[in-house]
Amino acid sequence: MWNKFLASTLPAQGSALAAKWDTLYWFLTAISVFFFFLIVGGMIYFAIKYRHKKGTPETTTYITGHHKLEAVWITIPTILVLVIFAWGYKLYVNMIEAPENAYEIHVQAEKWVWEFHYKNGRKTIGDLFVPLNKPVKLIMTSEDVIHSFFVPDFRVKQDVVPGMYTSVWFQAEAPGKHEIFCAEYCGTSHSGMLGQVIVLDDAKWADFEQGKEIAQSDKPVSMQDQGAELFRKRSCAACHSLDGTRRVGPTLKGLFNADVPLADGTTVKADENYLRESIEVPTAKIVQGFAPSMPSYKGQLTDAEMTALLTYLKSLK
């Protein structure tokens, strides 16, 4: 149980670096636990042992210092922090110096989406496809404010800054999916600026490079679930609630087939065409009482994805 708890303190180890990082982390934790018990334990021990009791004399032993002891608690911590520093720096160099042969992918961040551009001309939003066991280097920039590319499973993070290129590299060693967070505060939907790294084995990676569609899972996923996934990944939830509360945009609860009052005073029935239009050309019909602040998703969703999204929206009762 104890082991399980410790393991759950850190994210899964998804890259070659993660295990090395974890070793240093646990080394620091061991030292911290030791000093914590030394200091706080010492404090509690003295507090109890030397507590004032009624009837004992007020006067105490006159001690003003002890040079040898002081030398000890200057020297030992100094050595320790220098060792920690050197270890941390060495690992850091390892983290930032990408191998020559790393596969390069360009990353463009903007409020609140991650866009990935590959050598073969492909572009993906939210999903970053990478090969298994091969070094990958990301060259990143931002369109608007500072964001930060963070993959906990890989133990890497790098700010993405407008007007300059920053880079980060990793070698994914665990197939499957790994979360991407935006770690630098970037406004309204900072916490919705999510994505995932999808690690492909050699065969699938070859398919991807040739421009074939990649089935993301071996098990078939229902349309509705795919839609829910898209809803999350495209940050729709940043502006729309599913439980009736009002956010930047109207709630989408029970929208399908309802009568929607529009800003121009007319009403419209929310059928499939209306939903589709609302997503692709949001400014065509503005809902009464809301600002026309929804971005257009035209060209960002394939036909299959749009169908999945609509299936999902229709299911929201």
What angle do the packed helices 303-314 and 223-233 form, to 10 degrees? 100
Select 227 or 249, whichever has its Cβ closest to another protein. 249
Among 108, 124, 166, 300, binds another protein (CB under 8 A): 166
The answer to whether the CB of 142 falls within 8 A of the CB of 110 is yes
Smallest gap, in angstroms, from Cβ of residue 129 to ligand HEC?
A: 21
Cα–Cα distances in angstroms (integers) from residue 308 to residues 44, 225, 253, 276, in the given order: 61, 8, 17, 11
Residue span binding Cu ion (CB under 5 A) among the ranges 144-152, 155-163, 200-208, 294-302:
144-152
Beta-bridge partners for 105:
138
C-alpha closest to that of 135 among 80, 206, 199: 199
Among 160, 168, 186, 275, binds Cu ion (CB under 5 A): 186
Q: How many CB atoms lie within 10 A of CB 168?
A: 22
Q: Which of residues 184-203 bind another protein (CB under 8 A)?
A: 184-192
The C-alpha angle with vertex 149 and arms to 203 and 298, in degrees rounded to 5, equals 75
Binding pattern to Cu ion, positions 92-131, x when CB under 5 A?
----------------------------------------
Select 180 or 255, whichever has its Cβ closest to Cu ion. 180
Smallest gap, in angstroms, from Cβ of residue 279 to another protein?
A: 20
How far is residue 117's CA from residue 106's CA, in Å, rounded to a whole number?
A: 5
Residue span binding another protein (CB under 8 A) among the ranges 42-50, 203-211, 261-269, 285-293:
42-50
Among 104, 127, 159, 209, binds another protein (CB under 8 A): 159
Select 157 or 314, whichever has its Cβ closest to ligand HEC. 314
Q: How many CB atoms lie within 10 A of CB 231?
A: 19
- Residue 307 binds which of Cu ion, ligand HEC, another protein, none (CB < 5-8 A, kind-dependent): none
How far is residue 95's CA from residue 85's CA, in Å, rounded to a whole number?
A: 15
Q: 39 — alpha (psi -120 to 50), left (phi > 0) or beta?
A: alpha
DSSP class of 172: B
C-alpha closest to that of 255 among 285, 230, 233: 285
Select 8 or 210, whichever has its Cβ closest to another protein. 8
- Residue 236 binds which of another protein, Cu ion, ligand HEC, none (CB < 5-8 A, kind-dependent): ligand HEC
Three-state DSSP class for residue 262: strand
Smallest gap, in angstroms, from Cβ of residue 159 to ligand HEC?
A: 23
The amino acid that residue 277 corresponds to is: E
**Interaction between residue 238 and Cu ion (CB under 5 A):** no
**Interaction between residue 199 and Cu ion (CB under 5 A):** no
Q: Which of residues 244-273 bind ligand HEC (CB under 6 A)?
A: 248-250, 252, 255, 260, 270
Q: Which of residues 79-108 bind another protein (CB under 8 A)?
A: 81-82, 84-85, 87-96
Q: Which two tokens stand for residue 150?
A: 């963070």
Select 48 or 203, whichever has its Cβ closest to another protein. 48
Among 111, 190, 204, 233, binds Cu ion (CB under 5 A): 190
Q: 51 — alpha (psi -120 to 50), left (phi > 0) or beta?
A: beta
Q: Which of residues 294-313 bind ligand HEC (CB under 6 A)?
A: 294-295, 297, 309
Upper half-sphere CA count for residue 114 (Cβ side, 13 Å):
32
Binding site for ligand HEC (CB under 6 A): 234-236, 238-240, 248-250, 252, 255, 260, 270, 275, 278-279, 282, 286-287, 290-295, 297, 309
